Amino acid sequence: MKQVWSVIRREYVERVKTRAFILSTLGMPLLMIGIMAVFGLVAFLSEQSERQIVLVDQSGQLGERVRQALDEAGYDVELAAPGTAAEELDQQVLDDELEAYILLDDATASEAVFHYRAKEPPGSVRSQLIRSAIVEEVVDMRLGQIEDGESVRRLFEGGSLEYEPVGLDEAEAEEAEAERISGMITGIAGGLILYIMMLAYGAQTLQSVLEEKQSRVVELVISSLRPWQLMLGKIVGVGAVGLTQVAIWIGCVALLAGLALPGLISAAPDLEELGQVRQYLPGPGAILLLLVFFLLGYFLYSSLFAAVGAMCKNLQEAGQAQTPLIIVIIVPFMMQMMTFQGNNMPWMNWVALFPFFSPIMMYPRAVMGDVPAWMVALSIVLMAVTVWGAAWVAGRIYKVGILSQGNRPNLRELLRWIREA
Amino acid sequence: MTQNGTAVRLTGVCKTFGAHTAVDDLDLAIEPGTIYGLLGPNGSGKTTTIRMMMGILLPDGGSVELFGGAPDFGRRSRVGYLPEERGVYEKMKVLDQLVFFGEIRGLARSLARARAEKWLERLGLTEWASKKVQTLSKGMQQKVQFISTVLHDPELLILDEPFSGLDPINQDVLEEIVLEEKERGKTILFSTHLMEQAERLCERVCLISRARKVLDDDLKELKRRERTGVVAVEFDGEAPRIAWPEVLEVEQVGDAFHLSLDDGVRPEEILGAVLAEGVSLRRFELLEPRLHEIFVRHAGDPGDDDSVQPAGGAS
């Protein structure tokens, strides 16, 4: 077993040292933050640049109100002199002297329909801002003209569901709500991490097996190790790299929440609300469960990926051969996305029991409290049994495959390998 | 190190790949403490034979024994195997790679490192120790691989074409190491298509051609048996007229005369006849055939497998 340890260490050290590992470890969080920042920035900047607006009021009653509202929304508004002809402004737009103007007429006063006249349609942020400012003014004006306007307004605002927890005081209720949100965040992040890890590190196991087979190093190594020991060493070594990566990510979040955030808040008390983020972070139980699902899911898939690598001659062949495995990872991810979007159906909880789908589908359900504890326990047992079976089959394919230089076996040959190994 | 019993024994081993027969009914035995050469042209089945010894391929028929048993995991680890297609972790550093191979063969990490450093020094690779293997030349990679073959001090070395790809200086170094290992009581099997190398090193050779064994014998014995009855004679001063009934043919090669003797004529008789001429003799040598000639005689030109006659016709 000392030799297995050497294989694990080689696999781990050689991978952690690579630029690819360092880049992907640092890159993932940076990429996520970057994408969000860019989206926000683009929308913000595109609105910032065009904030001058000319307002033409033909309704005779809205002009000043709307000017004020748009002014508050941050626009530089010029109310055109009464009687200004729309044609005149159209000409200015055509001559590029004016980018756009807003025309308020009788329809605006009655139904909040107004006209935005320009050569190009407004951006999404702009149309949203202008529309809400104008609609609000129209509604205000109309409600002011009727009796009982205030309650009608509240009605329009959609009423409200006032949750009154029975048997819980307010503090407890708040805690329960925080737990729900925390479960949601943990579930989504955990599901995503499991998905990425199983795909990425499964593929790395395959690559590692294939490299040794192609370079024939494996023929040297198996004079000192049994094939299953070598396979185990590889899987554990690559998996340890994956765990290291996840641990670094989780560690970063913990560091941010535990040290950076309190520091930030004490320096800038305005940001106190940010402190609430901390109550949504997963507890040790959820992280431990993530570890269990990661280990089982990763072992399940990487042993099969190892078998695929052992069957193939080169990367192209392996690319084809691994397709079924990748589909089996992607399908539960798609189903889980539907669940996240609120389309959970009770039968999906049963689908989540299917061992190949469990890591991605059962873990989020477990931390979000969608399934009873016995189902989670059952899925762990089922996965453990499946891992054992898959490792047995994969070990046999691996044993024959790494020394075979022939073509990829078809299903019948594969069964023969499994039987005879 | 003492060894008992045969190191490697093949009995009636056959291996086919589809319609192609790679090894056909091969018997051979390698006694411990000897240098054994497996000779033959490219494609004659040497590598397939060696891969069966290492348990990488399973024979279709016959049996392969390593140290008196199946070439299983435990016995394989007593062998240092240098494959023909070099297998190295290209992206690993030289020393790390050697330490890894030492470790999986059961050496402690520190011992593996110490031995690897010693070997690197001996083969002139010390300054490459922390370079990635892929930055080394083919010849240097081969030396690295050779080190990983001998690092755990195995009792049997199986070297598949160990000299190919090395320059003459490194070939000499390798030959020296092989001889040293033999002195230390190790058994060495190597395959080659270079007859000269085999001639210098081996005590016993096995010639295979077209998947079949042609010859398998002690090298000295083989040469004695294969003597063609040619004597080379050189004289100081004028040569006598050579016209004895025992000599069938005379060929002048430079200053020397090669005399082909009739069957049953002993060289001493000719020596007597030459001395009787009263000339001063500079050289009188019973010519031994080169391994190359023996091989050609038995199996056709080893350089070109296509011209090889059916090996079944050889003695």
Contacts of A294 by beta carbon, 8 Å cutoff, 6+ apart? A193, A194, A197, A242, A243, A246, A359
Give the span between the Cα atoms of B66 and A186, in whole angstroms.
57
pLDDT of amino acid A48: 59
Q: How far is CA A271 from CA A139, A189, A260, B226, B294, in A?
A: 34, 24, 13, 98, 93
Q: Are residues A244 and A140 in the same domain?
A: no
For the record, the structure tokens of B263 come out as 């069957």
Measured in residues, chain B has a length of 315
pLDDT of amino acid A323: 92
Give the span between the Cα atoms of A261 and A273, in whole angstroms.
11
- A322 near A395, Cβ under 8 Å? no
For the record, the structure tokens of B259 come out as 């005399």
Measured in residues, chain A has a length of 421
Give the span between the Cα atoms of A207 and A302, in whole angstroms.
11
Residue A29 within any structural domain of the chain:
no
Q: Are residues A223 and A123 in the same domain?
A: no
CATH class of the domain at B8-223: alpha beta
Best of A213, A220, A416 to disrupt the B interface by mutation (most B CBs within 10 Å)? A220
Measure B54 CA to nearest chain A CA, in Å: 8
- B87 near A220, Cβ under 8 Å? yes
* DSSP state, residue A256: I
* Partner residue opposite B81 with nearest CB, options A218, A223, A403: A223
Measure A230 CA to nearest chain B CA, in Å: 10
- Where residue A79 sits, what CATH number does that domain have? 3.40.50.800
Q: Are residues A346 and A392 in the same domain?
A: yes
B314 pLDDT more than 70 = no
- For residue A147, the Cα-to-chain-centroid distance in whole angstroms is 49
- Name the band, by pLDDT with cuts 50, 70 and 90, for residue B146: very high
- Residue B135, number of CB atoms within 10 A of its CB: 12
CB spacing of B87 vs A7 below 8 angstroms: no
The total number of structural domains that make up chain A? 2
The ranges of chain B annotated as CATH 3.40.50.300 are 8-223
Give the type of residue at B230. V
Q: Is the dihedral of CA A178, A184, A188, A194 positive or negative?
A: positive
Q: Enumerate residues 14 to 73 of chain A having a beta carbon within 8 A of any beta carbon in chain B.
A: 14
* DSSP state, residue A101: E
- A380 near A204, Cβ under 8 Å? no
Residues spanned by the domain of A298: 177-420
Q: Are residues A110 and A209 in the same domain?
A: no
Residue A36 within any structural domain of the chain:
no
Q: Quick check: helix, strand or coil at residue A169?
A: coil
- For residue B212, the Cα-to-chain-centroid distance in whole angstroms is 17
The mean pLDDT value of chain B amounts to 85
Highest mean pLDDT: which range of A64-73, B1-10, B160-169, B282-291: B160-169
Q: Are residues A135 and A208 in the same domain?
A: no
* DSSP state, residue A371: S
Q: How many CA atoms lie within 13 A of B78 on its CB side?
A: 18
- Region A306-327 average pLDDT: 91
Q: Are strands B156-160 and B79-82 parallel, antiparallel or unpaired?
A: parallel
Give the span between the Cα atoms of B151 and B145, in whole angstroms.
10
* Residue-wise DSSP of A27-56: HHHHHHHHHHHHHHHHHHHHHHT--EEEEE
For A77-133, the pLDDT digits (tens) are: 888 887 778 888 888 888 888 888 888 888 888 888 888 888 888 877 788 888 888
